């Protein structure tokens, strides 16, 4: 069962939020006994990239054996002058 403050992995892309499947976030609120979650996604320096309300089917619980992958977050790229990588 996913609890508040658990890390979760997004299982579907959310283009409207600039998020991709595989992005890792933290549960900040649980709706209706786990039917939906409010998840905060952070950049590596701690800035909030997005906060999204997600159905249970859109996330899965993170496990320790997951390797994180770094990518530039397009919504913040202009603010922090990160060069685009092809």
pTM exceeds 0.85, yes or no: no
Look at residue 44 in the predicted model and tell me its pLDDT: 83
For 51-81, the pLDDT digits (tens) are 999 999 999 998 876 667 777 766 655 555 5
Locate 76 and state its tokens: 């913040």
12-19, long-range: CB within 8 Å, 24+ apart, which pairs?
A: 12/58, 14/50, 14/52, 14/58, 17/41, 17/49, 17/50, 17/52, 18/49, 18/50, 18/73, 18/74, 18/75, 19/49, 19/50, 19/52
Position with higher pLDDT, 27 vs 80: 27
Q: Which residues, in sequence order, are CB contacts of 46 under 8 Å at separation 6+?
A: none
Query: What is the CATH code of the structural domain delimited by 7-80?
Result: 2.30.30
Mean pLDDT on 33-40? 96
């Amino acid at each position: 069962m996913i609890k508040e403050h658990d890390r979760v992995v997004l299982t579907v892309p959310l283009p409207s939020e600039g998020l991709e499947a595989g992005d890792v976030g933290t549960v900040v609120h649980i709706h209706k006994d786990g039917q939906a979650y409010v998840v905060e996604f952070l950049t590596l320096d701690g800035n909030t990239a997005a906060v999204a309300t997600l159905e249970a089917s859109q996330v899965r619980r993170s496990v320790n054996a997951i390797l994180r992958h770094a990518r530039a977050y397009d919504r913040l790229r202009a603010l922090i002058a990160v060069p685009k990588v092809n």
